[in-house]
């Protein structure tokens, strides 16, 4: 009946009474769908997942580099002064400070970006993060872990990074291990979604998620400016996260996992190619970051927010969004697009710290305060863009500055090559006090 009315009304100009009736029917239909969706997706039908604890790797002081030091390191290997000047302008604008970290291979003179050094970087970061996590886990041992998910987009070796971890910590032969690659800065939260799905079907289990990126072999030494961007923003970093579905772990855990939302726009050529690893005309390998990145990221973020909004926004806010969409679709009046008030829905907003312009745009569109954006901006300044692990350095910042209170909601959102956009929502089970091994202790 509603469909017939809608089709019939489209044949004639919409009068005010018909317009009001159409709004009422669409709103009614929306409420019915929402109720059915809530019944179908009853959270009581799924296992509760807890974030027991996490740890971020903090490199040694010997790996620290200033912006000038980074440029000086590239100078002997780039015979193009225009490229160096371009890098200098980007580094000044991207929001990084003078205390970020690079791997050992790029500090040496001359640099030695070989496979052995890349594997050494992976071991340094991954084992460093896991060792920090296990040291915090009193009563837990490595053999308690039944699921392992590792994400590293660019560096993929044989045996895999997940096999490297299994070998180091002597996990049992029954462990479920997965290695995610090529998904960029969103892959850390994608890994959380995968671990959640596995914990739904494997009762009484722990899952270890390890998020990192490897940059030893992926610095670009050519003239293509779209590939030089990666040199300016990416730095060393990583995180290890322990999840559990055991009800007995709730009391010792920090957060409960509430929602995961993942979208991809890889069906679009412009989206698929906006971050693309390829060789330049001289055969030098690099990651091309196109000018379409901002617009393609906006599309995927918008799709993600639409799905997330259905899960976290009150019905009244969802109806306001629907009515705005209808008015704009039928050109009844000229009004601005309605942006749901996510800034009033979450207590902590932790987006991927990809660069200052991206953070500025997120703040402008979503309306978050400078205080809300501080963890992301401080992470970018102190640690740089560590790819998928930046969101964990931000959560560590919130804990170190005593921001996390019992019942607080935390929104992680990250985006990366593909194009992917992923949101993860947590709720704090308890007030979290600063810990001595937090990477921000002594930094704030």
Task: Kindly tell me if the per-residue pLDDT of 431 is higher than 50.
Answer: yes
pLDDT band at 28 (very low <50, low <70, confident <90, very high): low
Burial class (CB in 10 A: 0-12, 13-18, 19+), 302: middle
Which is more confidently placed, 275 or 316? Answer: 275
Q: By mean pLDDT, which of 18-27, 126-135, 363-372 is the weakest?
A: 18-27
Give the neighbor-by-neighbor strand order of the sheet with 420-428: 176-180, 147-151, 206-212, 238-244, 49-56, 255-264, 420-428, 409-416, 348-351
In this structure, what DSSP letter does residue 245 have?
-
Provide the pLDDT for residue 154: 92
Task: Kindly tell me if the per-residue pLDDT of 30 is higher than 60.
Answer: no
DSSP string, 42-70: -GGGS--EEEEEEEE----GGGEE-HHHH
Provide the pLDDT for residue 180: 96
Task: Kindly tell me if the per-residue pLDDT of 325 is higher than 90.
Answer: no
Task: Kindly tell me if the per-residue pLDDT of 420 is higher than 60.
Answer: yes
Confidence (pTM): 0.88
Provide the pLDDT for residue 192: 98
Provide the pLDDT for residue 31: 55
Residue (of 129, 140, 142) closest to 169 by Cα position? 142
Task: Kindly tell me if the per-residue pLDDT of 126 is higher than 70.
Answer: yes
Q: Name the average pLDDT for the chain.
A: 87
Provide the pLDDT for residue 292: 86
How confident is the model over 354-364, as pLDDT tens digits?
A: 999 999 999 99
How much of the chain exceeds pLDDT 90, in percent? 66
Provide the pLDDT for residue 50: 98
Provide the pLDDT for residue 244: 97
Which is more confidently placed, 169 or 315? Answer: 169
d(CA 83, CA 24): 59
How confident is the model over 203-225, as pLDDT tens digits?
A: 999 999 999 999 998 888 888 88
Provide the pLDDT for residue 269: 93
Q: By mean pLDDT, which of 89-98, 338-347, 411-420 is the weakest?
A: 338-347
Task: Kindly tell me if the per-residue pLDDT of 327 is higher than 80.
Answer: no
pLDDT band at 42 (very low <50, low <70, confident <90, very high): very low
Domains of the chain: 4-11+18-45 (no CATH), 49-255 (3.40.47.10), 258-428 (3.40.47.10)
Q: By mean pLDDT, which of 163-172, 214-223, 403-412 is the weakest?
A: 214-223
Provide the pLDDT for residue 398: 98
Alpha-carbon separation of residue 166 from 55, 116, 140, 214, 244 (angstroms)? 18, 19, 16, 19, 19
Which is more confidently placed, 165 or 292? Answer: 165
What distance separates the 2 farthest-apart alpha carbons in the chain? Answer: 77
How confident is the model over 240-269, as pLDDT tens digits?
A: 999 999 999 999 999 999 999 999 999 999
| pLDDT mean over 437-441 | 96
| pLDDT mean over 1-16 | 42
| pLDDT mean over 376-403 | 98
Say if strands 275-279 and 238-244 run parallel, antiparallel, or are unpaired. unpaired
How confident is the model over 332-361, as pLDDT tens digits?
A: 666 666 667 899 999 999 999 999 999 999
| pLDDT mean over 405-417 | 97
């Amino acid at each position: 009946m509603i469909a017939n009315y809608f089709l019939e009304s489209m044949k004639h100009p919409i009068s005010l009474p018909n317009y009001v009736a159409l709004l009422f029917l669409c709103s009614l239909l929306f409420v019915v769908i929402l109720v059915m969706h809530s019944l179908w997706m009853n959270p009581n039908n799924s296992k509760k997942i807890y974030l027991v604890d996490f740890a971020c790797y903090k490199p040694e002081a010997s790996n620290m580099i200033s912006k000038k030091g980074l440029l000086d390191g590239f100078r002997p290997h780039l015979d193009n002064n225009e490229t160096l000047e371009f890098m200098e302008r980007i580094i000044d604008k991207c929001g990084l400070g003078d205390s970020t970290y690079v791997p050992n291979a790029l500090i040496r003179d001359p640099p030695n970006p070989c496979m052995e050094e890349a594997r050494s970087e992976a071991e340094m970061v991954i084992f460093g993060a896991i060792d920090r996590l296990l040291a915090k886990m009193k009563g837990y041992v490595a053999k308690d872990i039944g699921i392992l998910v590792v994400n590293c987009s660019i560096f993929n070796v044989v045996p895999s990074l997940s096999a490297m971890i299994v070998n180091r910590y002597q996990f049992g032969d029954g462990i479920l291990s997965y290695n995610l690659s090529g998904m960029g800065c969103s892959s850390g939260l994608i890994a959380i979604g995968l671990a959640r799905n596995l914990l739904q079907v494997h009762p009484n289990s722990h899952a270890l998620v390890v998020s990192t990126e490897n940059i030893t072999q992926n610095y670009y030494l050519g003239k293509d400016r779209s590939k030089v961007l990666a040199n300016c923003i990416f730095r060393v970093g990583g995180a290890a996260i322990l999840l559990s579905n055991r009800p007995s772990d709730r009391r010792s855990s920090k957060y409960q996992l509430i929602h995961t939302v993942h979208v991809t726009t890889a069906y679009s050529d412009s989206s698929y190619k906006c971050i693309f690893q390829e060789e330049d005309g001289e055969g030098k390998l690099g990651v091309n970051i196109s000018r379409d990145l901002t617009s393609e990221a906006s599309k995927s973020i918008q799709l993600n927010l639409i799905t997330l909004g259905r899960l976290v926004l009150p019905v009244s806010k969802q109806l306001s969004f629907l009515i705005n969409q209808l008015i704009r679709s039928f050109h009844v009046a000229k009004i601005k697009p309605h942006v749901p008030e996510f800034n009033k829905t979450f207590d902590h907003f932790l987006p991927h710290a990809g660069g200052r312009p991206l953070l500025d745009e997120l703040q402008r569109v979503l309306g978050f305060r400078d205080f809300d954006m501080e963890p992301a901006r401080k992470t970018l300044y102190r640690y740089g863009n560590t790819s998928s692990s930046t969101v964990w350095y931000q959560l560590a910042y919130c804990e170190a500055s005593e921001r996390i209170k019992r019942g607080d909601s935390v929104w992680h959102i990250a985006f990366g090559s593909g194009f992917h956009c992923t949101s993860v929502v947590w709720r704090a089970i308890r007030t979290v006090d600063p810990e001595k091994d937090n990477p921000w202790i002594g930094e704030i």
